[in-house]
Amino acid sequence: MLVEEFSNKVLRSKIIDTYVATAFFAVVIFFTINADLYTPIEMLFGVIFSTIAFKGIAHMMIALIILLYDFDHKKESIELGEVSSRINGLLNDLSLQQTKIKSQKTLNEV
C-alpha cells in the first residue's frame, strides 16, 4: 500500500516525462549541429533509439528510487496511529464501564 502510493506520487510528478523530453531535445540539437556528419535516416533512427533508451533508463532510475526509499518511518507513523486508535477505543470502553458502575450504584442506593 505504501509503495503503491509512493510510486503513484513519483509517476504523477512527471519527472520521467521531463527527463525523456530533455534527452529528446538534446539528441535533436546534437544531430542538428552535426547534420553534415549523419544522413537523415541515421538521424531519425538515432533520435528514435536514443529516446527509447532514455525512457528505459528513466524507468530504471524510478525503480531504483522506489526500491531504495526508506519506508520505515512511514510504517512507524501508521503503526502509531493504529495503536493510538486502539488506546482511545479502550479508554472509551473503560469510561463506559465506569459510568455503568456509577449508575448501578446510584440505582442501588435509591
Do 7 and 51 fall into the same domain? yes
The pLDDT tens digits of the residues spanning 26-82 come to: 999 999 999 999 999 999 999 999 999 999 998 898 888 878 876 666 666 666 777
Kindly state the average pLDDT of the residues 78-88: 78
Q: Is residue 48 domain-shared with residue 88, that is, in the same domain?
A: no
Position 56 scores a pLDDT of 92
Q: How many domains does the chain have?
A: 2
Q: Range of 20's domain?
A: 1-69
Q: Which amino acid does the sequence have at 16? A: I
Same domain membership, residue 64 and residue 75: no
Is residue 22 scored above 70 in pLDDT?
yes
Closest CA to 27 of 14, 19, 106: 19
pLDDT at res. 33: 94
The reply to whether 1 and 43 lie within a common domain is yes
Tell me: do 76 and 61 sit in the same domain.
no
Judgement on whether residues 57 and 16 belong to the same structural domain of the protein: yes
Asked if 61 and 76 sit in the same domain, the reply is no
Q: What is the pLDDT, as a whole number, of residue 70? A: 67
Q: Do residues 18 and 6 share a domain?
A: yes
> Same structural domain for residues 44 and 87?
no
Radius of gyration for the alpha carbons in the chain, expressed in angstroms and rounded:
30
Same domain, residue pair 19 and 35: yes
SS (H, E, C) 4-46: HHHHHHHHHCCHHHHHHHHHHHHHHHHHHHCCCCCCHHHHHHH
Examine the pLDDT at 88 and tell me if it is beyond 90: no
User: What's the whole-number mean pLDDT along residues 88-104?
Assistant: 88
Shared domain for 10 and 50, answered yes or no, is yes
